Structure formats: C-alpha cells, structure tokens
C-alpha cells in the first residue's frame, strides 16, 4: 500500500480522492491550511499536514515519506478570482509542488489539470488529448493557466520525474461545497432559471469517477500523458432540461439567439468591471455558445470506464445540497 499526499484534500475532488484512497487501503495525508473547512473529510482516517502550496518549507514537510502526490489544489472558481491569483496558484503553485516532490523523492505525481487546458476542434467534434490549448488567453485565462501548469509538468517529465495529467471535464456530484459546476443545480433549485439555454454543449463526469481515475493513474498511468475524464456529452438544452426535471422546475425552452451572445458577453464584462457580484462571467457565456466536448476513449482504455451516469450524478448533487441545508427540495 502507498502513502499519498493530497493537495486541496479538503475540497471537492480532493476529498473524494481521499475517500477513494483510504477505501482502497492506502494512507492519505491532506495538505491544508489551518483555517480550512473539514466538512468533507471529517469522517476519514487521514493524516493532516498544515501548509500551503506557495509555502515551500511546508511542502517539504508534507511530502516526507510519500510515494505519491496528488496535486488537486487550484483556483477553480475563476470567475470569482483575480487573474493574478489565478496564475500564481495554478502555475507557480504547480511548479512548487513538482520541485518539492523531486526533493522528497516522490515516485509519482498525479496532476489534476482540466479539460479546459485542451483545445477545441474547428469542426466542432470532440477533442482528444492531442489537441493543444488554442483559445485566446485573454478570453479564457483559466484554461490558459491550466495549459501553463501542464507545461511545468511536462518539463518535469523531461527532467526525469513521473508526472501524469488528469483532465476532468465538467464535474458534478455530491460535495461541491464551493458551488463550482454544482452552482447550476443549486441555482435551478432556488428558482433562478435562465430564460434561454445556450446553443453549445459540454462533456460531464461524476466526481467519484474522477477520483477513481486519479487512483488508476497512480497505479498504471503513463508518465507525461494527458487523460481526459468524461462520461457523457450533453447539449445545454439537454443539461438544463435534466437539471430542471430533477429539481422540479420548468426548463428554458428557447435557445439563446446567436446575435445576443456578444451583447450579453459585453454586458456581463461591463458589470464585472463595475464591481457587480455575478454568478457567472463573460467567458462562461462565450464558451457556452460553443461545442466544448471531449473524447475520453484513451482514459477509458487505460484507466477504466466511468461508473456513474450523469443523471445519477445530478440527482446526488441535488440531494447533497438539500441535506446540507443549502437549498430546499421542491
């Protein structure tokens, strides 16, 4: 059995990874701040290391004796974060993790990247791991930051480290305490339903399948490889309809008019610059009009098939929010 350090282990993906590792008989150590909420891991037999991915001495202490490092910590709610902090945490933080892992003699680092670091095909078909990031950095800084953190990982591989990249698509499931993708479910449940649906599409996956893919990558993933983790491609029309059915509200029935997209994007951008607190940003609206789907066949072959259908994932997300008192069931 292995001893593993998980950065971001109190968060959405990290906590499920800790549950998966301990359930498989491995020892999990969580790197966290002293102020971190422990709701998602309170019942788990994990070790705790107090520190931060930007605090180098704490990383050396946290990695001592570890076989694997799972780097899940990142700024994921990019629409709420400053661009400067996004790059500092996602890029510089990754560099710190890789350097510390090398000093500690860690056998293998599994980096939680994102499908956002993978480019989109011009023909609209699902992109695989071979497609490089090709969106304007100014339009999608989160994806750009993840592409840069992958460059750090690949440089480490060339220098002799074993690093595997996990690229989850849109992640749903219980435990999304910070309301990242799950914000769609929560907002619908609160009656905040958009009047129209975007014309684009996305690939979705359950967080528990993402956690299993991380463990499989540690056991048998190939260093230097990307693995896109996805379960199902959904148009926003289908996704919104599914969420609406689950929470008991009426789904939007009209598509967003194509000419309205740039107007909405510009309007949201203006409101953001004026300091208005909005649940989305202009880049999300811009992307929602595109086909943002990914080909996960490589991960299915090498790491295993996802087990949780997206409907179940959304139902479990809704029930978890209800149980925690974050929303009221319809």
Look at residue 78 in the predicted model and tell me its pLDDT: 66
Look at residue 261 in the predicted model and tell me its pLDDT: 75
Look at residue 33 in the predicted model and tell me its pLDDT: 94
The residue to which tokens 């292995």 are assigned = 2
For residue 319, which phi and psi values (nearest 5 degrees)? -65, -35
> In angstroms, rounded to a whole number, what is the distance separating the alpha carbons of residues 212 and 226?
16
DSSP letters, 149-187, are HHHHHHHHHHTT--EEEEEE-EEESTT-TT-STTHHHHH
- Mean pLDDT in consecutive groups of 10 residues from the start of the chain, 330 residues: 97 97 98 94 97 95 97 81 88 97 98 97 95 92 95 98 98 93 92 91 98 98 98 97 96 86 71 65 79 97 98 97 78
Give every CB contact of residue 80 below 8 A, 6+ residues apart in sequence.
none
Taking a C-beta distance cutoff of 8 angstroms, is the pair 156, 223 a contact?
no
Look at residue 3 in the predicted model and tell me its pLDDT: 98
Look at residue 79 in the predicted model and tell me its pLDDT: 62
The residue to which tokens 């209800």 are assigned = 322
CATH of 3-174+202-231+293-307, one of 3.40.50.11440, 3.40.630.40, 3.40.190.170, 3.40.50.720: 3.40.50.720
DSSP state, residue 78: T
Strand partners, 228: 167
Q: How far apart are the first and last CA of the chain?
A: 45
Strand partners, 183: none
Strand partners, 167: 228
> In angstroms, rounded to a whole number, what is the distance separating the alpha carbons of residues 160 and 152?
13
Question: In a 3-state reduction of DSSP, which class is residue 288?
Answer: helix
Q: What is the pTM for the complete model shown?
A: 0.94
Is residue 122 packed enough to be buried (19+ CB in 10 Å), middle (13-18) or exposed (0-12)?
exposed
Give every CB contact of residue 326 below 8 A, 6+ residues apart in sequence.
186
Strand partners, 170: 204
> In angstroms, rounded to a whole number, what is the distance separating the alpha carbons of residues 90 and 198?
28
């Amino acid at each position: 059995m292995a001893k593993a350090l998980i950065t971001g282990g109190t968060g959405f993906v990290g906590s499920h990874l800790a549950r998966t590792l301990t359930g498989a008989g491995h020892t999990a150590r969580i790197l966290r701040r002293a102020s971190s909420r422990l709701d998602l891991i309170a019942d788990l037999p994990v070790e705790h290391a107090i520190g931060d991915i930007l605090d180098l001495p704490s990383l050396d202490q946290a990695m001592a004796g570890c076989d694997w490092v799972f780097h899940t910590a990142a700024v994921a709610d990019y629409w709420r974060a400053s661009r400067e902090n996004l790059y500092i945490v996602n890029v510089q933080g990754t560099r710190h993790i890789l350097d510390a892992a090398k000093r500690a003699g860690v056998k293998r680092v599994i980096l939680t990247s994102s499908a956002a670091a993978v480019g989109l095909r011009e023909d609209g078909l699902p992109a695989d791991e071979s497609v490089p990031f090709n969106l304007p950095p100014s339009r999608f800084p989160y994806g750009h930051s993840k592409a840069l953190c992958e460059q750090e990982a690949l440089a480490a591989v060339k220098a002799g480290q074993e690093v595997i990249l996990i690229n989850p698509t849109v992640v749903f499931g219980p435990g999304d305490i910070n309301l990242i993708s799950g914000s769609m479910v929560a907002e619908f449940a609160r009656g905040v339903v958009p009047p129209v649906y975007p014309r684009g599409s996305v690939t979705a996956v359950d967080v528990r399948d993402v956690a299993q893919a991380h463990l499989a990558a540690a056991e048998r993933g190939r260093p230097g490889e990307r693995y896109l983790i996805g379960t199902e491609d959904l148009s926003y029309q289908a996704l919104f309809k599914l969420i609406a059915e689950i929470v008991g509200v009426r789904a939007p029935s009209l598509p967003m008019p194509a000419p309205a997209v740039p107007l909405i994007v510009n309007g949201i951008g203006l409101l953001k610059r004026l300091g208005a607190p909005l649940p989305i940003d202009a880049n999300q609206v811009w992307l929602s009009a595109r086909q943002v789907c990914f080909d996960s066949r490589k991960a299915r072959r090498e790491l295993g098939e996802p087990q949780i259908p997206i409907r179940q994932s959304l139902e479990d997300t809704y029930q978890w929010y209800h149980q925690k008192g974050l929303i009221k069931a319809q």
